Structure 1
Amino acid sequence: MPLEKAFLLPFDPGVSKIEFMFNPSEITFSHKVNVSESPGAKAQESGKPKVSFSSIDANTLVINDIIFDTYEEQINVVEKYIMPFRQAVEFVAFSGNLQSGSAGQQSNSQQAQDGQNSQRTPLYAFVWGTSGSVTKALMPCCFIESLSYKLIMFLPDGTPVRAKIDSLTLKEADPSMLPSMQTSQDVDRVMDSYENRRSQVRNLT
């Protein structure tokens, strides 16, 4: 069975795919339902406070201890592997309106708000195995919520050649945030395109 590498597949044009040098050893998923209890309102049979279900938080996925090593190549590990992660937690201005409806039907205040909403971090699908299929993605539409890494090996001239991401947190995103743009130039898998990925994500939700 061939080795499948984990990667973050971007939905936004001009954003590079993020590949893992070594696959994760474990992945932690978190799901949370928010509730509120009313101490004064109790169930007759059990006597316990009644619970009201308020909302569901976005799911998160956490990967720890991700190693990147360029010692044999004698090149900067930050430039080759860490920089794409750092760019993934920076705001990028996306042109075009991400909301439904034409600009002519919107008020000036709504158009201004849409312009502010177009600045966000890139969106990805976290894929591992199943030949890179987005429909089997562990998290089909997400963004990097937090990133913590350290440099742990250097060449004599100070060039970092080994890095360790202590914690990478991916948070589920609403597929309606996906941009209405053309295909990304960074995807090289057969039969994989922006439109295919976008439709596959919508079918999962």
Structure 2
Amino acid sequence: MTGQLVKAMLTTTDSGATSITFQFNPTELNLKRSIKLNRAEGTRTASGMPKISFARPEPATVTLSNLVFDTYEAGTSVYTKLDPILKAVDFVSESVQRPPIYVLAWGSKSYLKCFVTDIDYSLTMFLEDGTPVRAKVTLTLQEVDDDQA
């Protein structure tokens, strides 16, 4: 081990989109994957359980909670760090009618190709003049196929 800290990030190759490097690494990644089921109404197995057929896997989701961004020491607005995150839910351009596609990566591990579905943030510290200098952010990401990018 080299002992060098590696930052988690959302990388992108979309023109007009900015990669997002987390100022402080997440303390946990919450991953969820499920299977879509088809339940036939009124049909039951011999034991009385509803008959189920397996449709397909649903896209994985990842939630990154309590990400901290802080610009207190710089004395500047924390929005300088938040702007790339807030733009993650905008369309890439007028010609590309979708949000930016990212790859969630941390060190040598790429977790999934995804887009940001939800951003929830709180401004938690302010300078005397009201400038926000600290924010806590939660991001929800949804997996996307290579052919959708």
Q: Does the TM-score normalized on the shorter chain lie above 0.5?
A: yes
What is the rounded CA distance, in whole Å, between the counterparts of 1:142 and 1:38 in structure 2? Answer: 32
State the 1:14 CA deviation: 2.8
Contact between 2:44 and 2:51, CA under 8 Å: does it hold in 1? yes
**How large is the RMSD of aligned CA atoms in angstroms?**
1.5
Counting aligned pairs with the same residue, the percent is 40
Query: Which structure 2 residue ranges, 5 or more long, are not aligned?
Result: none
Give the alignment partner of residue 138 of structure 1, picking from 111, 135, 143.
111
What is the rounded CA distance, in whole Å, between the counterparts of 1:91 and 1:60 in structure 2? Answer: 20
Equivalenced residues, count: 147
Cα distance, 1:39–1:16 mapped onto 2, change above 3 Å: closer
Query: Which structure 1 residue ranges, 5 or more long, are not aligned?
Result: 96-117, 131-135, 179-205
Structure 2 residue identity aligned to 1:175: D
State the 1:119 CA deviation: 0.8
Give the alignment partner of residue 120 of structure 1, picking from 89, 94, 98.
98
What is the rounded CA distance, in whole Å, between the counterparts of 2:40 and 2:88 in structure 1? Answer: 41
What is the rounded CA distance, in whole Å, between the counterparts of 2:5 and 2:123 in structure 1? Answer: 27
TM-score normalised to structure 1 length: 0.67
Once the two structures are superposed, the pairs formed by residues 55-134 of structure 1 within 5 Å of their partners are: 55-78=56-79, 80-93=80-93, 95=95, 118-130=96-108
Q: Which has the larger radius of gyration?
A: 1
Contact between 2:32 and 2:60, CA under 8 Å: does it hold in 1? yes
State the 1:20 CA deviation: 0.4
What is the rounded CA distance, in whole Å, between the counterparts of 2:16 and 2:93 in structure 1? Answer: 12
